[in-house]
Copies of this chain bind each other. A is one copy, B any other.
Amino acid sequence: MRKVWKLASRPVGDIADGDLELVNEAVPDLAEGQFLLGVIYLSLDPTNRIWMSDMEQYMPPVALGAPMRAGVCGRVIASRKPGVEVGQIMAGLGEWADLIVSDGSMMSPLPQLAGISLAATYGTLALVGPTAYFGLLDIGQPKPGETLVVSAAAGGVGQIVGQIGKIKGARVIGIAGGKAKCDYVVNELGFDACIDYKNEDVGAALDRLAPGGIDINFEQVGGPIMIEVMNRMKLFGRVALCGMISGYNDVTPNDPPGYWTMILMRRLLIRGFIVTDFAPRFGESGMALAGWMLGGQLKTRQDIRPGLENAVETVKELYSGGNFGKLLIEVSQP
């Protein structure tokens, strides 16, 4: 038997009790070419809420009645797939479940880095690391001395964006909720500054910290914070549009205004992206990220919560800023 969360109804606004249901069901026998994965970590990400909806999105929505989709990492328990060995650690797209039957099409082996925990390896090298890497380097294109602002700075992606920005010589200003997160990204991760949006006027703080304006906006939150950042973009600035989590629970989409005149006059570049667009280059990002981790230039924090049964309550915290670091559910012992 396996435990799996299934999407019972599409949330309207905040995720409500009953939108997802935890079901016990038989694990099907493995067919030739399949393997059974014992899930260790379930990755909870802002995009989960998008997948639950039927809004325009970049993958098919999760079908009603189907297992909820997620990034997962686990250990192979049984295999009828050549090249996939029992005991191997695999990561990729899976389900909110403790056991997953996979044909491997959305999974690949996860390298294990010496001296670094599986949670840190998975929580950095899997989707959040490439998201930060390609969004910042391909779209943001930081140059030494430029000013980079990253929202959701203490989250899974934000913490990596800021550190790559520092590696590339940019001046990095984070935006995060609460003193603990701000202190962490400045004191532990080396950001130049961090604005606590829960206790500071973001616009006034940006005026003080970036009086010359902002070269790069790594945008993750949307809403009023995005507006404050956009209003301060510099000539030839770049906006890597990674997400707008503040609106994901909105019943009626409420995009920030069109800054079309500003985009024209300041010659801004805006580009939306999804990490899977860069899949052919994951080897490049993986090597760079692993190198920085092993070299001590890239530290990441995971926020690990126990128990598959807590997945729904835990994923909700993403939308209220309750997580501190990359949010993972520990489904079984690593």
Question: Interface of A with B (CB < 8 Å)?
Answer: 55-58, 222, 236, 241-244, 247, 253, 255-274, 277
Contact = CB atoms under 8 A, between A and B. Distances in A.
A222 to B, nearest CB: 7
A272 B265 contact: yes
Contact of A263 (B57, B261, B265, B270): B270
Contact of A271 (B244, B247, B267, B273): B267
9 contacts: A55-B261, A56-B262, A56-B265, A57-B265, A58-B266, A241-B263, A255-B261, A257-B257, A264-B272
Contacts of A258: 255-259
Number of copies of chain A assembled together: 2
A241 B271 CA distance: 13
Of A236, A243, A259, A260, most B-chain CB atoms within 10 Å: A260
B259 A257 contact: no
A69 to B, nearest CB: 16
The 5 closest A-B pairs by CB, nearest first: A264-B272, A258-B258, A263-B272, A270-B270, A255-B260
A236 to B, nearest CB: 8
A241 B262 contact: no
Given A264-B272, A264-B273, A269-B271, 12 more contacts: A55-B265, A58-B266, A241-B263, A243-B264, A262-B272, A264-B274, A265-B272, A267-B271, A267-B272, A267-B273, A270-B270, A270-B271
A38 B68 CA distance: 73
A29 B236 CA distance: 40
Contacts of A255: 257-261
A277 B262 CA distance: 16
Nearest to A269: B271
A268 B268 contact: no
Nearest to A227: B258
Contacts of A247: 261
Nearest to A247: B261
A265 B222 contact: no
B257 A253 contact: no
Of A55, A242, A258, most B-chain CB atoms within 10 Å: A258
